[in-house]
Amino acid sequence: MPNPFKLNLVHRPRRLRRTAGLRALVEETVLRPEDLVAPLFVIDGKGRPEAIPSMPGVSRLAIPDLVKECRALGKLGILAVALFPRIDARLKDEEGTAALREDALILRAVRAVKRAVPGLTVMTDIALDPYTSHGHDGVLTADGRDVDNDRTVGILSGMAVLHAAAGVDLVAPSDMMDGRVGAIRRALDAAGHEGTAIMAYTAKYASAYYGPFRDAVGSAKAAGTRGLDKRSYQLNPANRREAFTELKLDEAEGADIVMVKPAGLYLDIIRGLRYATRKPIAAYQVSGEYSQIHAAARLGWLDLALCRRESLIAIKRAGADMILTYFAREMAAELRKAP
């Protein structure tokens, strides 16, 4: 009996989806461990790793464990790590003075990692939020009602020079102050660090998805709220054109890599910047993006491994050259088993 619904089609896209072999042959986006940057949290002392309840599978590590983790990541093909310090609350103050200490935890961590795993690319955040008692990325104006742009930029420039001297390959200003990329570039060059690159958080949105990260570095606690209001410096999630304004400025000021953050909810921004710049683009799959996949998986509502892969593929497909993600280690391990 001939099928009465038989279609007379020339084009049947399903032909190329028929077998695993054909699907692989026409696959457009391939994720590699080398695309992934692992953000890691570091604490002082020699204590055991501290679990972060809102980020399952992520812990704050003391320097000896941090070094071990970096070695393990290197073996999995991860080429770069981004280090974030969580300092003792007693070291925090309004001015974030601990950021400029020569014995700062982050500097000791960088030196230790560079000594133990010299081939690993190390980047650090340039912003004051791990150091300020109020949790803002900069110092406040005299009336305490806003972050003081130019005074903050001065401090961040000093911080970048310290990090460069400790051996970081890339400094990553994540503060969103105006003019900071140019100021940091000039300060680095003046100090003889013309080889240290700048990964600018170019389009960093005022996102609610940073909540778990603020638990991790203790900036929410310092501020007394996970919903710390950073809207006077981070971009409005409603805005797209503004990302291009920031891109132009960061490029002109000397950024080597430009970043979009968060990633998954801002694929249109990644895509837009991809067409607008020849610079490499980084995307940051932030803590909340990570935690929501874990939370849904715990409830049995989503498949962790499949959502992990799909979320990262989507970010790469949109145009990111590299992805900062808390899934880096597990994703790399999975890719090495079955690319």
Cα angle 252, 140, 87; round to 5: 90
> Should residue 69 be labelled a site residue for ligand PBG when binding is judged by CB under 6 A?
no
Nearest-angstrom CA–CA distance, 41 and 119? 20
- Applying the rule CB under 6 A, the residues between 217 and 246 that interact with ligand PBG are 230
Supply the angle between the helices 304-318 and 287-298 in degrees, to the nearest 10: 150
Cα 55 to the center of its chain, rounded Å:
15
Among 134, 185, 193, 214, binds ligand PBG (CB under 6 A): 214
Q: Which stretch binds ligand PBG (CB under 6 A): 141-149, 209-217, 247-255, 303-311?
A: 209-217
Specify whether 230 is catalytic.
no
Residue given tokens 């049995």 in the structure block:
300
Q: Which stretch binds ligand PBG (CB under 6 A): 15-23, 125-133, 149-157, 267-275?
A: 125-133
15 vs 175, beta carbon nearer ligand PBG: 175
Q: How far is the CB of 175 from ligand PBG (least distance, A)?
A: 6
158 vs 276, beta carbon nearer ligand PBG: 158
Q: Find the farthest-apart pair of alpha carbons in the chain and give their distance in angstroms, rounded.
A: 86
Q: How far is the CB of 39 from ligand PBG (least distance, A)?
A: 7
Cα angle 149, 184, 181; round to 5: 70
> Should residue 210 be labelled a site residue for ligand PBG when binding is judged by CB under 6 A?
yes
Catalytic residue among 92, 114, 204, 230, which? 204
> Should residue 213 be labelled a site residue for ligand PBG when binding is judged by CB under 6 A?
yes
Specify whether 204 is catalytic.
yes
231 vs 248, beta carbon nearer ligand PBG: 231
Using CA atoms, how far residue 81 sits from 132, 297, 339, in Å, is: 24, 26, 21
Supply the angle between the helices 328-337 and 304-318 in degrees, to the nearest 10: 100
Catalytic residue among 92, 114, 230, 261, which? 261
Nearest-angstrom CA–CA distance, 205 and 176? 9
Q: Which stretch binds ligand PBG (CB under 6 A): 62-70, 121-129, 292-300, 306-314?
A: 121-129
Task: Give counts: helices (H), strands (E), the chain.
Answer: 12, 10
Contact set with ligand PBG (CB under 6 A):
125, 127, 129, 137, 174-175, 210, 213-214, 230, 286-287
Active site residues: 204, 261
